[in-house]
Amino acid sequence: MVEPLSDADATVQSMPDASPAKWHLAHTTWFFETFVLRDHLPDYALHDPRWPFLFNSYYEAEGRRHARDRRGMITRPTLDEVRAYRAHVDAALTAALPSLPVAAQELVALGCHHEEQHQELLITDVLHLLSENPLEPALWPAARKVPVAMPNPIRWVEGSNGIVQIGHDGTGFAFDCEGPRHPALLTPHALADRTVTNGEWASFIADGGYREARWWLADGWNWVKTNAIAAPLYWEETDAGWTRFGLDGRRPVDPAAPVTHVSFYEADAYATWAGARLPTEMEWEAAAAMHDATGGNQMDTAGPVEPRPATDDAGGLFGDVWEWTGSAYRPYPGFQTAEGAVGEYNGKFMSGQFVLRGGSCATPRGHARASYRNFFYPHQRWQFTGVRLAKDLPAC
Amino acid sequence: MVEPLSDADATVQSMPDASPAKWHLAHTTWFFETFVLRDHLPDYALHDPRWPFLFNSYYEAEGRRHARDRRGMITRPTLDEVRAYRAHVDAALTAALPSLPVAAQELVALGCHHEEQHQELLITDVLHLLSENPLEPALWPAARKVPVAMPNPIRWVEGSNGIVQIGHDGTGFAFDCEGPRHPALLTPHALADRTVTNGEWASFIADGGYREARWWLADGWNWVKTNAIAAPLYWEETDAGWTRFGLDGRRPVDPAAPVTHVSFYEADAYATWAGARLPTEMEWEAAAAMHDATGGNQMDTAGPVEPRPATDDAGGLFGDVWEWTGSAYRPYPGFQTAEGAVGEYNGKFMSGQFVLRGGSCATPRGHARASYRNFFYPHQRWQFTGVRLAKDLPAC
Amino acid sequence: MVEPLSDADATVQSMPDASPAKWHLAHTTWFFETFVLRDHLPDYALHDPRWPFLFNSYYEAEGRRHARDRRGMITRPTLDEVRAYRAHVDAALTAALPSLPVAAQELVALGCHHEEQHQELLITDVLHLLSENPLEPALWPAARKVPVAMPNPIRWVEGSNGIVQIGHDGTGFAFDCEGPRHPALLTPHALADRTVTNGEWASFIADGGYREARWWLADGWNWVKTNAIAAPLYWEETDAGWTRFGLDGRRPVDPAAPVTHVSFYEADAYATWAGARLPTEMEWEAAAAMHDATGGNQMDTAGPVEPRPATDDAGGLFGDVWEWTGSAYRPYPGFQTAEGAVGEYNGKFMSGQFVLRGGSCATPRGHARASYRNFFYPHQRWQFTGVRLAKDLPAC
Amino acid sequence: MVEPLSDADATVQSMPDASPAKWHLAHTTWFFETFVLRDHLPDYALHDPRWPFLFNSYYEAEGRRHARDRRGMITRPTLDEVRAYRAHVDAALTAALPSLPVAAQELVALGCHHEEQHQELLITDVLHLLSENPLEPALWPAARKVPVAMPNPIRWVEGSNGIVQIGHDGTGFAFDCEGPRHPALLTPHALADRTVTNGEWASFIADGGYREARWWLADGWNWVKTNAIAAPLYWEETDAGWTRFGLDGRRPVDPAAPVTHVSFYEADAYATWAGARLPTEMEWEAAAAMHDATGGNQMDTAGPVEPRPATDDAGGLFGDVWEWTGSAYRPYPGFQTAEGAVGEYNGKFMSGQFVLRGGSCATPRGHARASYRNFFYPHQRWQFTGVRLAKDLPAC
């Protein structure tokens, strides 16, 4: 994935929310080195004792660290030196793996899933960086497009009603925030059978969607005005219509493809405009529980990623775009953080953010789960984020 | 309530979150004038056609308006002119009331509850203003204190379990966000029989509560560091111990009284430190449903208001301090905003804020309800806000 | 001057650069109380020992003080209490005056000139406050206008050449920064015989003056863009032409009157557009030395003040508008600050500001001098500031 | 000079004031390509028509351009592609040079001097970038140090008195702001025979120099408080004493060497503390006129540059450190900007900045002149900036 990046591409930080590709590579390595090798191998010597300061992300228990918004200052170590760091830690980890205690092996599993998260962030952070270059360079050639018919109008699918079980059931890996599994009560509702398309979004724009306060949450309207928001991130209007910037450069917007790079505020405003609402994360999970989380348009290999038009009845619950839910990211009943630095993994972020579900075209295949809870602030939109509509049904 | 305020006291705005007392008086009058008199009396002439621009708060449908953070610039009209405005509108309303259509009478009721909300804001905004004056003037003499024994240690009271009905049941007035009434599922839990006291909070401070990241949500810790937060708002440490500023000036903190003027971030950190959590708004409402919402220490008359030590078994669910819940302020299933400008009343604020329940010593008596949903941003703390602990119980 | 102000008018602070009228009244009183009564009367007891904290402006040697941008929070003491403070200090000063030592008498003189400075600031700060009120209330009725013919085109008056003596000559009072008197060398130049008019400024606007970078200093252009500057402060364009806000409310701009409320950046851009430059303070002082500094349109009594069209050959060097010079405010050769807190009077402000000369319609008559050096930052324009053009002449 | 830089080192922008090394290389090339090749070679085709948008610095007449504070986003073109750009333009220029008209040849000369300016900026910008890396990497090994005795106490050298000629005399190249040559009047004064040393600066710190308001200009004191300034840039206190960061890494401060990386505010405060003042630029130029501007410690080749202790009587007027003067950067009498985009070269920066004289250890040898006017804002200190004291002498 990093192959087409120059040392400079891998070093620059384009905004405080994003991190350099080199930093992602080093940070995921630091995670293994710190929580597995350092903590569980008595004789392990750090690859470089000065680097933990650079590559700790936010673990307060691990002490002081480099400021998040200055990660782009680290021109040294070079990309090649970071690659050597990865090789060193990989080798040490491979050698140690057979004899690691169970607790350490669980941390290895956590580290692998952690790294998958950063693979997606790396993709979206590089996309943002290239978008800030006035030349708008393409990282990869465009994927070959298979012509697709425009999707049918939305069909409403009635969801489960009454008490459902929510959260990870204990089979296989899950992050702490996905549990405990617990009962939840769903009121009568329906979900759309697909996500909102670019073509539908263009209608929202044409109808004055970004110019009328009445569709917006107050915070969202303030965000629109302050930042002069008028379209999804990376969209630009030309004489020939809307274009978008992607890892394959600037190209026309495909009206049949799912809209992406919209914030929660935009998603909520669109839903209000459309006379609908966003699903709750419980409704989404109940609907997704019966689907194959490894299907759909997810990331298999390096190369341009982009959401694809739905081509079947699967509803695209997994892959293509992360779907904003109307649920604030808060702990499940009975949630407890783990002991130690790893306990900072998710719990401390449970305020101010909204849950997204399903995974995107940039999510490593196999990383998604029905119980998976992604979360971002309501104004953030540099991830592949989209919208599925929901609505209340009358109680019988 | 406004009697001891000078024209200057009633005009100055101490921060963007707060409004001048004069503005509260005029804005609540504007509400009646606009939505009742103007909209329902064919011949009504505005008291002054230039004033709606000044005294509309946030109703986008009512057009452009004065910037919220410049409300303190309005030295004219004077306090006396605003009083004349109130007299004028009161008279017109009284004359019109008997013959108003039902829709308008409902708006009158809404206007009255709206004014009760602003009575509390007026108190807390004046408190904030006086606190910004280095002389720390008292508005009223101190209330006579009845000596109170220190409260007993917290006793845990098991809450309802399973499906409960949540939301306003349609009897009497309620704001739109309190409905629709709907079933909710509670998991096994217990609530503390009283709120956290100043004395307990002092222990939290002494134990390094504000100096250790591990108790805090990430956003909260950032807030603590950025603003150098080290105690509740209005607290100051002296050689003789903690003092607090109130409408009766600066006085010693009463260790037996409920802590107040703490943010959601502080409330959550305290709960984590105490090995507990905040209640959900559903848990709180289920517990409060059987109690008398007009009891407790609420505002009856002008004069110093402050939270009082609990003196009985009622648990102080109503009055004393608003209780932060762990629930993000979001719509209930089936919630719909009303048509027209009044539809902006509550729905558009449903992102980024947390629900508080119960009412405070500055809430007009009778304004509170078990279904009442107050809401503020997690960093705000100039209201009389406090903390009740909750915890999960093992499922049977 | 303060008579038409309400307590609220006298209390609110409209921007950090401005101070409330009440604060001006108290601060000038504090100056006498501190540096004369406290320092020179052994038995003097402070009127209120808590007030120096409130009313010290910037004297570091006098210890900590209230933050400048929070002066508007001081609703107590009231305007009447501040008036009592003034009466108290006036009485004490009057009683003490005959027996004060010379050093203290010099401080009394300094205090009087200090108070004259604050009279002008009080006027311009009140004007700014009223301008922030959407109702744009008038403080006074408009002055009766004597019809005036449009001024003649600018006539260039050749200035002195060679060595001139600059700075206060020691006769009568002067601020420290006006000396020492010293020789300066002038190169051949001419000054305009009057200041730039509103009509001429409207031509500058119509010619795209605020839209073309080439007329502007880089800092000025950045200021124009950042703040969307398009006309002098208080100007607004209507269907009937330009209007301006003044102490007599909003009225049409008089094309014959001197332009005012322009920043140094605007003054410099205008001069560049006009193919001229601003005078140096030396050139200005040499030209003004022979004129009567007590003549012209200065402030004699309370009431609306505004710049008047030139009606004679005096050139309006004194009064009407402060004239921006191209000279940075820096010390004269041999300048030394005084000992003690009073030494902070002027010297510490000698960076980043530009010198203005001449006085304005809001300057108390008799406060102006040929050697008087006023100074403001190049973006500030809430004073009555205007422009006189200058140009270089070929050396003979 | 660029040889030891990686592509990443050459791409990252460490602060808005600084530019990436790659940008310096491309911008100086753009200058030649635009003002010489494009404007004077009828058939010249731009190397890449999209690049002028990237590499125009501030020439408004050349149209829109990339935002200054986003120069670090340009990871493409790569450093090698920029090198190819330079080779291309160098070749075209070399070929065209013999037949260029005089006007174009003058622009070539201007371009060369422009490039020399950027050589120094490149050095100081790289230094700043490396200083932001917590690893504090060295770019070059330390220079071999010749032991030097501590300098003698300052000796005061009386300067010229009366009328002197100031400004470039027309022989050889000069920037527009260095003229016109004109008479200036100097009052009796003396200059120190050397610049202030690190050892003397350490005494200033030890004496509370950064903790007492009385030494500081008001703007400077505000800067100290806001930014918690306590020592020159790149200094850090360790148990073993003061260290500084340089292109050779972090090393002990040499007490005999000239202090550098101090702002105008610091320079002025030091002078006040020392009972002296800064020289005016006129005094400095008069003193320097008789010295050899190509002598002293200037930049001859790539490698670590640092100010050296004075070893002779030359006074180090040229080289070592730029010397802050007390003169605001303003136009000389008769100054006119040139026609066209090149006219933006210097004139538009003539507000808010102070003049520095003499050149530094990072100034290309031969770039300095007695008439050379460098200029920076009073808070800036990432250049090699130092202090020479001056004082007034009594008039005879």
Instruction: Tell me the shortest Cα–Cα distance from A124 to chain B, in angstroms.
Output: 23
Does residue C64 belong to the interface with chain B, where contact is any CB pair within 8 Å? no
C393 near D CB under 8 A: no
A2 to chain D: which residues are within 8 Å by CB? none
> Taking a C-beta distance cutoff of 8 angstroms, is the pair A364, A298 a contact?
yes
Contact C218 D349 (CB under 8 A): yes
Distance from CA of A394 to the nearest CA of D (A): 52
B343 contacts B229 by C-beta, under 8 angstroms: no
Closest C-alpha to A125, from A31, A14, A234, A232:
A14
A330:B330 CB<8 A: no
Residue C244 DSSP symbol: E
The chains in contact with chain D, meaning 3 or more Cβ pairs closer than 8 Å, are A, C
Whats the size of chain B, residue-wise? 396
Q: Do D8 and A70 touch (CB under 8 A)?
A: no
* Contact flag for A and C (3+ C-beta pairs < 8 Å): no
Q: What residues does each domain of chain B span? A: 21-131, 156-392
Question: Cβ contacts (< 8 Å) between A184 and chain B: which residues?
Answer: 185
Interchain CB contacts (distance < 8 Å): A and D: 82
C312 and C346 Cβ atoms separated by less than 8 Å? no
pLDDT, residue B143, reads 79
Contact yes or no for B216 and A348 at CB 8 A: yes
Contact D129 A73 (CB under 8 A): yes
The whole-number pLDDT of residue C138 equals 97
Are C8 and B137 an interchain contact pair (Cβ–Cβ within 8 Å)? no
Q: Which residues of chain B does C54 touch, with a Cβ-Cβ cutoff of 8 Å?
A: 134-135
Q: Do D348 and C58 touch (CB under 8 A)?
A: no
Mean pLDDT score across all residues of chain A: 94
Asked whether the beta carbons of B36 and B92 are under 8 A apart, the reply is: no
> Could you give the 3-state DSSP secondary structure of residue A257?
coil
Q: D393 vs A150, which has greater pLDDT?
A: D393
Give the Cα-Cα-Cα angle D276, D307, D243 (nearest 5 degrees): 90
Q: Does A50 touch chain D (CB under 8 A)?
A: yes
Task: Specify the pLDDT at position A389.
Answer: 98
Q: Which residues contact D37 (CB under 8 A, 6 or more apart)?
A: D44, D89, D92, D93, D96
Q: Could you tell me which chain B residue has the CA closest to the CA of A211? A: B60
What residues of chain D lie within 8 A of the CB of C56, using their CB? none
Disruptive mutation site among C348, C353, C393 for chain D (greatest number of D CBs within 10 Å): C348
How far from each other are the two terminal CA atoms of chain C, in whole angstroms? 52
Is A333's CB within 8 Å of B60's CB?
Answer: no
Q: Given this model, what pLDDT does residue D342 score?
A: 77
What pLDDT sits at residue C312?
60
Which residues in chain B touch residue A266, judged by CB atoms under 8 angstroms apart?
Answer: none
- Compute the nearest-CA separation of C127 from chain B (Å): 12
Model confidence pLDDT, tens digit, residues A302-316:
888 999 987 665 678
Top residue of A65, A351, A380 to mutate, by most chain B CBs within 10 Å, is A351
Low-confidence ranges of chain D (pLDDT < 70): 311-314, 396
Q: Which residues 3-32 of D have a C-beta within 8 angstroms of A?
A: 6-12, 14
How far B337 CA sits from the closest chain A CA (Å)?
10
* Nearest chain B Cα distance for residue C342, angstroms: 25
Chains B and D touch (3+ CB pairs under 8 A): no
- Between D7, D9, D76, which is nearest A133 by CB? D76
To the nearest 10°, report the CA torsion of D150, D153, D156, D157. -30
Give A267's pLDDT tier (boundaries 50, 70, 90).
very high
Q: Flag whether the pTM goes above 0.90.
A: yes
Q: In the complex, which subunits touch B with 3 or more CB pairs below 8 angstroms?
A: A, C
Q: Would the CB atoms of C53 and B134 count as touching at under 8 Å?
A: yes
Give the best residue of A348, A349, A392, A396 to mutate against chain B (max B CB count within 10 A).
A348
Which phi-psi region, left, alpha or beta, contains residue A222 (left: φ > 0; alpha: ψ -120 to 50)? alpha
Cβ distance A220 to B351 less than 8 Å, yes or no, reads yes
Q: What is the mean pLDDT of each run of 10 residues along chain C (396 residues)?
A: 95 98 98 96 96 92 92 97 98 96 95 97 98 97 79 93 95 94 97 96 98 96 98 97 97 96 98 98 96 91 86 78 98 89 84 97 94 98 98 87
Task: Of B10, B120, B58, give the one whose Cα is nearest residue B385.
Answer: B120
The answer, for C187 touching chain B at a CB cutoff of 8 Å, is: no
Contact between D366 and D60 under an 8 Å Cβ cutoff? The reply is no
End-to-end CA distance of chain B: give it in Å, rounded.
52
Nearest residue of D to residue A11 by CA position?
D8
Q: Which residues of B touch A221 (CB under 8 A)?
A: 60, 348
- CB–CB contact A334 B187 (8 Å): yes
CB contact under 8 A, D137 and A10: no
Q: Any chain D CB within 8 A of the CB of C97?
A: no
C74 touches chain B (CB under 8 A): yes
- Of the partner residues C12, C53, C54, the one whose CB lies closest to the CB of residue B72: C12
The complex scores an ipTM of 0.96
- Residues A36-47 have pLDDT tens digits of 999 999 999 999
- Is C12's CB within 8 Å of B76's CB? no
Indicate the pairing of strand C322-328 with strand C385-386.
Answer: parallel
Encode chain C in three state secondary structure. CCCCCCCCCCCCCCCCCCCCHHHHHHHHHHHHHHHHHHHHCCCCCCCCCCHHHHHCCCCHHHCCCCCHHHHHHCCCCCHHHHHHHHHHHHHHHHHHHHHCCHHHHHHHHHHHHHHHHHHHHHHHHHHHHHHCCCCCCCCCCCCCCCCCCCCCCCCEEECCCEEEEECCCCCCCCCHHHCCCEEEEECCEEEECCCCEHHHHHHHHHCCCCCCHHHCCHHHHHHHHHHCCCCCCCEEEECCEEEEEECCEEEECCCCCECCCCCHHHHHHHHHHCCCECCCHHHHHHHHCCCCCCCCCCECCCCCCCCCCCCCCCCCCCCCCEEEEEEECCCCCCCCCCCCHHHHCCHHHCCCCEEEECCCCCCECCCCCCCCCEEECCCCCCCCEECCCEEECCCC
D165/D289 Cα distance (integer angstroms): 10
Taking the CA of residue A38 and the nearest CA in chain D, the distance in Å comes to 21
Contact A72 D72 (CB under 8 A): yes
Q: In this model, does residue A83 exceed pLDDT 80?
A: yes
B224 φ, ψ (degrees, to nearest 5): -60, -45
Give the residue on C whose Cα is nearest the Cα of D328.
Answer: C328
Write out chain B's pLDDT in tens, 396 residues: 899 999 999 999 999 999 999 999 999 999 999 999 999 999 999 999 999 999 999 888 888 999 999 999 999 999 999 999 999 999 999 999 999 999 999 999 999 999 999 999 999 999 999 999 999 999 999 877 777 788 889 999 999 999 999 999 989 999 999 999 999 999 999 999 999 999 999 999 999 999 999 999 999 999 999 999 999 999 999 999 999 999 999 999 999 999 999 999 999 999 999 999 999 999 999 999 989 999 889 999 888 899 998 766 667 899 999 999 999 999 999 999 887 777 777 899 999 999 999 999 999 998 999 999 999 999 999 999 999 999 999 976
**CB D133 to CB A74 under 8 A?**
yes
The verdict on B205 touching A (C-beta cutoff 8 Å) is no
User: Looking at domain C156-392, which of 1.10.10.10, 3.20.20.150, 3.90.1580.10, 3.40.50.460 is its CATH number?
Assistant: 3.90.1580.10
- Cβ B10–C8 below 8 Å, yes or no? yes
Nearest-CA distance from C185 to chain D in Å? 6
Mark yes or no for CB contact A79/D8 under 8 Å. yes
